[in-house]
Amino acid sequence: MKDSINGIEFDMKYIKEVPTPRQLAFYSLDCREAFYGGAAGGGKSSALLMAALKYVDRPRYAALLLRDTYANLTKEGALIYRAEEWLGGTDAVWEGDAKRWRFPSGATLSFGYLDGPRDHFNYQSAEYHFIGIDECVNVRENQALYMFSRQRKRISDGEIPLRFRCASNPPTREQMARGAWVKRRYVD
């Protein structure tokens, strides 16, 4: 069921929260790269999930949502939990072994993590239209940059844009060493 919110077409079939104006602005972006920052409770994880679901009606669309650890993906209220709340009971099917949702169009929404210093190599030869990193200040810069190489599309994919999205709280003192790249790339 397509809705129009402030003139932006928005599909509420899979998205079970009405977006805030900031989330809607983030959702509507089709540029290659964007960052959603802010304090805890500001809707960043939901905004990433909304953006990842934007093109699930298109055949072969592939989205990937990442966190720093598997544990942080599966906590109550985290990305996998939230996706289950939104997608459970719809025509999307959870493929548990692969940690992904498959949609009637054939599109997929996968979940992964970048915990160890070589975990980004788990995505070699993978291809995604959308890659989102939640709490990106916890991810190593070289791993995030490597994920850009996993963005690909074929001519037959038509109007599906390649999109790389990051979201994060401001880094704590402990996160500054690993997360300084986020400030350099998106804030400064």
DSSP state of 110: E
- Strand (E) or helix (H) holding 24: helix 21-28
Residue entry with tokens 């599906």: 160
> What pLDDT does 1 receive?
54
Residue 105 confidence (pLDDT) above 70: yes
Taking residue 7's Cβ as centre, other Cβ atoms within 10 Å add up to 7
Burial (CB count <10 Å: 0-12, 13-18, 19+), residue 4: exposed
In angstroms, the CA 10 to CA 30 distance is: 14
Per-residue pLDDT tens over the stretch 3-38: 677 777 777 889 999 999 999 999 999 999 999 998
Residue entry with tokens 């190489």: 149
**Low-confidence winner among 11-15, 84-88, 91-95, 164-168 (lowest mean pLDDT):** 11-15
Structure confidence at residue 155 as a pLDDT band (50, 70, 90): low
Residue 83 confidence (pLDDT) above 60: yes
